[in-house]
Amino acid sequence: MSEFELIVKNVRVVRHDRSEPFEADIAVRDGRIAQVAPGLDATTARTVVDGEGKLAFPGVVDAHQHWGIYNPLEVDTETESRACAQGGVTTALNYIRTGRYYLNKGGDYAEVFPEALALSNGRAYVDYAFHLAPMSRRHIAEIPSLISEHGVTSFKIFMFYGGHGLHGRSSDQSSFLMTPKGERYDYAHFEFVMRGIQAAREQFPEIADEISLSLHCETAEIMAAYTEMVEQEGRLTGLAAYSASRPPHSEGLAVSIASYLAHETGLPTINLLHLSSAKALDAALRMAKAFPHIDFRREVTIGHLLADIDTASGIGGKVNPPIRPREDVEALWEHVLAGEVDWVVSDHACCRDEQKFGDPRDDVFLAKSGFGGAEYLLPGLISEGRRRGLGYDAIARLTAYNPARRYGLRTKGAIAEGLDADFALVDPNRTWVVRAEDSESTQEYTPFEGFELTAKVTDTFVRGHHVLENGKVVGTPQGVYLRRPVTA
């Protein structure tokens, strides 16, 4: 009997805590990394893969995706997890909620969430988990049971939903969110969500630091006023108009409000999602200084790092918060290089062509928000990051180690003995051009169309299963639901 199921020979291992990659082989037993060392005996493994000197990155923990937002959850789980494998993503954390989109129903998570688990079961090519949004008072009461029964340790607030539409126009939020009659989704609700999560942290002290709240920080009133101004003036079109309609100071104001509410409620584990602008990062850093007892984590998406309002391929790049002008992209990179961003994500939300665009097709305010991008996460960050001097170790922290630690994925995030055998082989010298038709996603377009990248994920392993081989998704779905905290 072979000692190992798999040995991947001749790779350069990237770790979050080593400045340079090191040459080694990786041995896998029972889905875990059993040994990382040079010169392992190939005869001791059932399967041997020649890494051909490529970089072995820890499998990406993409902490922000949206399976099931525009397509049925069971469909997205399969197709979009295939796109994940293309981008070196081995763990996908998905935000879902009750209301329109997703499962298109209201009610308690005690009923809704088991349905989501059943629909996704056995369909994913990568491991996955869910963040849940408490939309009602009853959801707040359910937080302890979601933690203890389902291993959900992360929650979300959409700060603009109470007074602004998902796609840019105001709408009837009660029917959109499907909240109980008489309840409001507003700052008071956000406060009580925070109090509920802090109470759960106190109830489960052994995992308190892995129970956290994420916030989409934009201010409804600012955006409603600016949307009206932009549309009435008619001077701007496309992504420039959408960026102006949701101005950066709307982000900064929401960050400040969220931070003070965290201070008021005593909740110290706060994640500030997809910060898209210089003003948003400035506010986030100011709040960290104002409230040093709060453990803020700051997130940026690959879309906001790669594209701007002029380079993105059309209004398919509409997303919340918006793609910004080039000066904001450069500001984000300054913060990334300064170590002031904690992780980079895709915010993958597959929206097919027939759903994405309105009539007329070029009216950005009629288009839906969100697009896919998991398949470009690791290659995009390596390509642009290395050009700017970002170290491989920093990339490993931003894509794997940091989000794994925050979100209770104790067996993920690094190539190390005893952890899950999640890793991606990357050719750092392969230049290629992004084409939507090459993606495994069912989305027929991408805002990155025509972008030239200089690194390519060739192989992806999920707990030792070879799910991407020579750039092609292979085999059957191997992903499992991760009940957090995930332990050995």
According to the model, what pLDDT value does residue 76 have? 98
- 487 falls within a domain: no
- 29 falls within a domain: no
pLDDT tens digit string along 203-240?
Answer: 999 999 999 999 999 999 999 999 999 999 999 999 99
According to the model, what pLDDT value does residue 175 have? 76
Closest CA to 119 of 99, 96, 139: 96
Query: At CB < 8 A and 24+ separation, what contacts does 171-177 make?
Result: 175/100, 176/99, 176/100, 177/98, 177/99, 177/100, 177/106, 177/135
Q: Tell me: pLDDT of 24 over 80.
A: yes
Cβ count near 301 (within 10 Å): 24
C-alpha R_g of the chain: 21
According to the model, what pLDDT value does residue 50 have? 98
- 359 falls within a domain: yes
User: DSSP secondary structure string, 387-451?
Assistant: HTT--HHHHHIIIIIHHHHHTTBTT-SS--TTSB--EEEEETT--EE--GGG-SSS-S--TTTT-
According to the model, what pLDDT value does residue 168 have? 61
Edge to edge, the sheet with strand 269-272 lists 60-65, 89-96, 127-132, 154-158, 212-216, 269-272, 295-301, 343-345
- 15 falls within a domain: no
According to the model, what pLDDT value does residue 7 have? 98
pLDDT tens digit string along 385-425?
Answer: 999 999 999 999 999 999 999 999 999 999 999 999 999 99
Q: Tell me: pLDDT of 171 over 60.
A: no
User: DSSP secondary structure string, 122-176?
Assistant: TT-SSEEEEEE---SHHHHHHHHHHHHHH---EEEEETTTTTS-TTSS---HHHH
HSE at residue 49, side-chain half, CA atoms within 13 A, is 24
Q: Tell me: pLDDT of 170 over 50.
A: no
The pLDDT of 462-484, averaged and rounded, is: 98
Q: What percent of the chain has pLDDT over 70?
A: 97
Q: Tell me: pLDDT of 154 over 60.
A: yes
The pair of three-digit structure tokens given for residue 390, joined into one six-digit string = 């970002």
Tell how strand 295-301 and strand 343-345 pair up.
parallel
Is the Cβ–Cβ distance between 95 and 129 less than 8 Å? no
Give burial (CB, 10 Å; 0-12/13-18/19+) of 17: exposed
- 436 falls within a domain: yes
Q: Say how many domains are in the chain.
A: 1
The pLDDT of 175-186, averaged and rounded, is: 88
Q: How far apart are CA 255 and CA 218, in angstroms?
A: 8
Buried b (16+ CB within 10 A) or exposed e, 122-131: ebbbbbbbbb
pLDDT tens digit string along 288-298?
Answer: 999 999 999 99
Kindly indicate the confidence band of residue 161, based on its pLDDT and cuts at 50, 70 and 90: confident
- For the chain, helix (H) and strand (E) counts, in that order, are 15, 19
Kindly indicate the confidence band of residue 2, based on its pLDDT and cuts at 50, 70 and 90: confident
The strand ranges marked E within 170-308 are 212-216, 269-272, 295-301
Is the Cβ–Cβ distance between 487 and 411 less than 8 Å? yes
- 440 falls within a domain: yes
Cβ count near 64 (within 10 Å): 25
Cβ count near 19 (within 10 Å): 9
HSE at residue 4, side-chain half, CA atoms within 13 A, is 26
- CATH number of the structural domain spanning residue 381: 3.20.20.140
Kindly indicate the confidence band of residue 152, based on its pLDDT and cuts at 50, 70 and 90: very high
- 478 falls within a domain: no
According to the model, what pLDDT value does residue 99 have? 93
Q: ω into residue 321 within 30 of 0, thus cis?
A: yes
According to the model, what pLDDT value does residue 67 have? 98
Question: In this structure, what DSSP letter does residue 208 have?
Answer: G
Q: How far apart are CA 228 and CA 226, in angstroms?
A: 5
Non-local (6+) Cβ contacts of 217 within 8 A are 159, 251, 254, 255, 258, 272, 273, 275, 280
According to the model, what pLDDT value does residue 322 have? 98
Please give the distance of CA 117 from its chain centroid, rounded to a whole number.
Answer: 19
Is the Cβ–Cβ distance between 284 and 298 less than 8 Å? yes
Q: Tell me: pLDDT of 159 over 70.
A: yes
Is the Cβ–Cβ distance between 281 and 331 less than 8 Å? yes
Give the range of the structural domain holding residue 256, as residue numbers without chain letter.
Answer: 59-408+429-454
The pLDDT of 308-335, averaged and rounded, is: 98
pLDDT tens digit string along 68-123?
Answer: 999 999 999 999 999 999 999 999 999 999 999 999 999 999 999 999 999 999 99
According to the model, what pLDDT value does residue 487 have? 85
Closest CA to 129 of 417, 403, 443: 403
Q: ω into residue 322 within 30 of 0, thus cis?
A: no
User: What average pLDDT is seen over the chain?
Assistant: 96
- 481 falls within a domain: no
Kindly indicate the confidence band of residue 162, based on its pLDDT and cuts at 50, 70 and 90: low
